[in-house]
Amino acid sequence: MEQILTILVFFPAIAGMLGFIVKSDSIKVYGITVTLVEFMLSLWLWLSFDSSVAGMQFEHFFPIISNYGINYHVGVDGISLFLVILTTFMTFIAIVGLSEERALKNLILSILFLEMTMVAVFVILDAVIFYLFWELSLVPMLYIIGAWGASLRIYAAVKFFLYTFTGSLIMLIGILFMGYIYHEATGVWSFSLLDWHMLVLPFNMQLWLFVAFFLGFAIKVPMFPFHTWLPYAHGQAPTIGSVILAAVLLKMGTYGFVRFSLPLFPDASVYFVMPIAILSLIMIIYTAMVAYAQEDMKQVIAYSSVSHMGVIVLGTFALNVEGIGGSIFLMISHGIVSGALFMLVGVIYDRRHTKYMREFGGLASVMPKYATITGIMVMASVGLPLTMGFVGEFLSLLGFYKVSPIMTILAGSSIILGAIYMLSLFKKSFFGEVVKEENKNLEDLNYKELSALVPLVLIVVWLGVYPKPVLKPIDNSVKHLVDLMEKKSVTKDAKEFIVSVNKVGEGK
């Protein structure tokens, strides 16, 4: 089992290279088989995972440039475990539901290489190697948008690349400086996150380093005002690109906050709580209103993603177990729900070659299966109780309530605003009479589409009713993280803040 994470990282890439010799007419079956095996390996990882252990498990280590402390080091805890499973599951589901026919072989092989980079980001514990895979993930996604996207695909792909690459370069400066600080403190080089956890940094140094890492992660999320690349990327990307972008790639940014920013810079994290909360509120409210103004179904869901990511960031910077644990659960929930919604838009686009709501109406009577699954996912998106979306949003907002009840109430408007724009989308598309002649004989969901969408529905309901199997491992690791933050705090105010927001049953 000590090799399982390495297998999970490199198996898709090795299979991708072997895929060049696979015949084009068999490539989709090959892609489904590879991603299914990868998903089963991640389930085996979950079954072998000890939920009572808060620290890293299944660690695997070997030196790469030992003189400078750069090593291949992987490990997984409750924070990263389900993000790995989310990655493998959504990649598998995306290929199962794939309807693209242009250069299909190249597309599937690109997805397999992308899967390698995404899994690696969630398990790598060496900052330099983490950065390497972080940047490598841009290449296949750039290719997917640029080669299979819509008419403005080149503009969208370049904008996506420039935004995320620029932020990552600033983060690289922070990574190199952290390695230098560790060398000055200990006399040896190390880029291991676990080694860096032993560093206690002065407050002023934490502020600058926090900003360097923050820019890299915030652009990836994407946080306001760096969010403008996302609607273009979603609008121009093929369906499978939008599914993976929303389900997994955006979570790399919020995962970075939890894995790097909070434990390495606890005092700076406390210092920036309110500015980040204000940016999150702008994300939640502003992009929700923009979503309501859209006529394109895909753009509604794209702006909805930014709004929901604002709730995730807010929960993360509650700096308590409820908020951080809720934000991680909401990452998983948003990955499932947004991935499903983009897939559903792809279904109707394949039939009508339009995504504008004004072109539809009355689809519930023509495509009842499609309407039912879309309705369930819309309800999960707005946080209906007994769906997966409710659990993560409730815990994230509950956690931040201990920081600021007023800001939490404002953030809670996301539920109301979400209901307005998502139910408006559903009403315009599915209710009323079938006016357009082209809509009267549309084919309902076929076997291939149902096989991709039904598992997502089952997970949304199952984890909405019984989230404990996922929440328990997450909470144990988050408690360990919060204890580490309290221990490493160098200012009295930060230590008192972390203690106060983690008192059971008490608000601030």
Checking if the pLDDT of 305 tops 80, the result is yes
Mean pLDDT of the chain: 90
Please give the Cα distance from 15 to 144 (Å, whole number). Answer: 18
**For range 261-285, the mean pLDDT:** 93
* pLDDT score, position 508: 41
Average pLDDT over residues 427-444: 85
In angstroms, the CA 354 to CA 133 distance is: 35
Per-residue pLDDT for 72 more than 80? yes
How many whole angstroms separate alpha carbon 335 and alpha carbon 305? 10
Summarize pLDDT for 165-221 with one digit per residue, the tens: 888 899 999 999 999 999 998 889 999 999 999 888 999 999 999 999 999 999 988
pLDDT in tens, 496-505: 888 888 886 5
pLDDT at 71: 93
pLDDT in tens, 212-263: 999 999 998 888 888 888 888 888 888 898 899 888 988 999 999 999 999 9
Q: Is pLDDT at 507 greater than 60 in this prediction?
A: no
Q: From residue 83, how far is each of 56, 249, 329, 390, 474 by CA, in Å?
A: 15, 11, 9, 18, 11
Residue 18 has pLDDT above 90, yes or no: yes
- Say yes or no to pLDDT of 506 above 50: no
* DSSP 8-state symbol, 75: E
Residues 345-398 pLDDT 10s? 999 988 888 888 888 888 888 899 999 999 999 999 988 899 998 999 999 999
**Per-residue pLDDT, 261:** 92
User: What is d(CA 294, CA 41) in angstroms, rounded to the nearest whole number?
Assistant: 40
- The predicted model gives 483-503 an average pLDDT of 87
> Would you state the pLDDT for residue 450?
92
Compute the distance between CA of residue 393 and CA of residue 332 in angstroms, rounded to an integer. 11
Q: Give Cα separations from 182 to 69, 131, 177, 185, 191 (angstroms).
A: 10, 18, 9, 5, 8
Is the separation of the CB atoms in 387 and 340 below 8 Å? no
pLDDT at residue 504 in the model:
65
Domain boundaries, the chain: 273-508
Mean per-residue pLDDT, 103-124? 93
φ/ψ (deg, to 5) at 151: -65, -30
- Give the confidence band of 83 by pLDDT, cuts at 50, 70, 90: very high
Q: 48-57, 123-132, 333-342: which has the minimum mean pLDDT?
A: 48-57
Backbone dihedral angles phi then psi of residue 318, each to the nearest 5 degrees: -70, -25
